[in-house]
Amino acid sequence: MFKKGFTLLELLIVVIIIGILATVALPQYTTTIEKARSAEAVINVGAIRVALDRYWYQIGALPANNNFLSLDIDNPNLVTNKLYTYEFRDDGTTGTVRKYTVTATRVGLPDTWVKWKQLDNITGKIT
């Protein structure tokens, strides 16, 4: 007489293996999700930068801080279910040199941000 099924030991080993795999995979999954979310911020900060540069080349100055209506892009702060809030500020732009900062701050996590600092007409950096 043959009995079909698994022993308790076999089931226990399978549960342990699944637990080990979940322990390894879950942190990697979380990291990947956060990278994708921060990529959204980097893309939007880049779009704001390009719009600010275009505005500066056309007008010779930057718009008032956070005045997205002056830019030729949609205001990213009006998107529903947004992950970041966006702001920009003039850091002393003159007629010949543009200096500004664009910041994306994570909604609900104010210590998490992406920031672009335009240092002069050529140099800038993202943090």
User: What's the average pLDDT block by block, 10 residues per block, for the chain (127 residues)?
Assistant: 81 94 89 88 91 89 89 90 91 79 87 76 65
Please report the pLDDT score of residue 30 as a whole number.
87
**Predicted TM-score (pTM) above 0.85:** no
SS (H, E, C) 28-86: HHHHHHHHHHHHHHHHHHHHHHHHHHHHHHHHCCCCCCCCHHHCCCCCHHHCCCCCEEE
Please report the pLDDT score of residue 123 as a whole number.
66
* DSSP letter (8 states) at residue 110: T
> Where along the chain do its domains lie?
9-126
Count the neighbouring beta carbons within 10 Å of the beta carbon of residue 116: 20
